[in-house]
Amino acid sequence: ASATHQASSAFPTESRLPTFCQEQAGKPRRQDANGYPEKDGSRGKRGCTVKAHPRLGKLRQCSADPFSFLPADICAFCHKTVGAREPTVEAMRKQYHADCFTCRTCQRLLAGQRYYQRDGRPTCDACYQATLEKCAKCRGLITERIVRALGKGYHPGCFSCAACGRAIGAESFAVDEQDEVYCVADFYRKYAVVCSACQQPIVPHEDKDTYKIECLGRSFHESCYRCESCGTPLSPEPTENGCYPLDDHLLCKSCHVRRRNESSC
C-alpha cells in the first residue's frame, strides 16, 4: 500500500525545544538524557547532569536551561549520528540527515517536498507516478482504488456497462464478442434468445436453473413450452407427455391425434 506525505523542511535540531518542560521557579530539577528525573548524585560541571545515553554513551544536558540541545540521534538511513546543529528531517516517524532523506529511486532530496511511502521507502512524486498502472479504458493513471477484471486494471468508474453506463463494481458482468462489458441485465436484453411464445428474453436466474427448450427451430421458456391447442405443459423429453408437432404446431399427443383424425375426415 502507498501513502502520500509532506516531508518536514530541514532545520537544525537546536531550534527545537527540549523534550522536558521548562523549569518552574525555585530549585531546578535535574533530569537524565531521556528526560527522566535524576536518580543519583552524579553531576557534571556548571550544574549539568552527565548520564549514559542508551545508544550514544555519555551525553551532557543542562537541566536548568529550557533551550538546551536535544540529545543527538541516529539517522534512520545511514545509521550515523545526527549532530545537534545538523539540518534534519523528521518523516515516517524517524529522523534523517537532510541529505539522507532522498527518493530511493532517483536520489532526489525530499526535504520540504511531497513524497510517497512504498514498502517503507520514501519515493518522490515523479518516480511514484511512473510506477502506477494505467486504466485500460481511459488510459489515465490509477492513483487510488483499482478494479481488476479480464486481466486488466480500471478506475472503479471506468469499469462500467457499455449499455447503461452504470459502474459494475463487484457485481456479475458479461462480455460480448467485441469485448464490450455489460451488466447482466443489459447483456441479456441485448443478446438473449427471445421466447417464441411470450416474446420475452430467456435469461438465467441466480436462484434456480433456467432451461431453454428448442423445437421446430424455435426457442421457449420451460414454462411456455405447452400444447398450442389445450395448453398442457409439454415435456422436453421424447415421452408420452412430449411434443407431437403437426403442421408446424406444438401439440400434445391427444391433440395431435384429434387433429389428424379431423383432417382425414
71 and 170 housed in the same domain: no
72 and 163 housed in the same domain: no
100 and 155 housed in the same domain: no
Q: Which residues contact 189 (CB under 8 A, 6 or more apart)?
A: 163, 201
Average confidence (pLDDT) over 207-234: 88
Q: Which residues contact 58 (CB under 8 A, 6 or more apart)?
A: 50, 51, 52
**Total domain count, the chain:** 3
Work out the pLDDT band at 25, boundaries 50, 70, 90: very low
Contact in structure between 28 and 72 (CB atoms under 8 Å) = no
160 and 115 housed in the same domain: no
Residue 137 resides in a domain = no
pLDDT of 62 higher than 70: no
115 and 78 housed in the same domain: yes
Work out the pLDDT band at 27, boundaries 50, 70, 90: very low
Q: Which domain holds residue 253?
A: 212-264
Work out the pLDDT band at 169, boundaries 50, 70, 90: confident
User: CATH code at 116?
Assistant: 2.10.110.10
For residue 207, the model assigns a pLDDT of 67
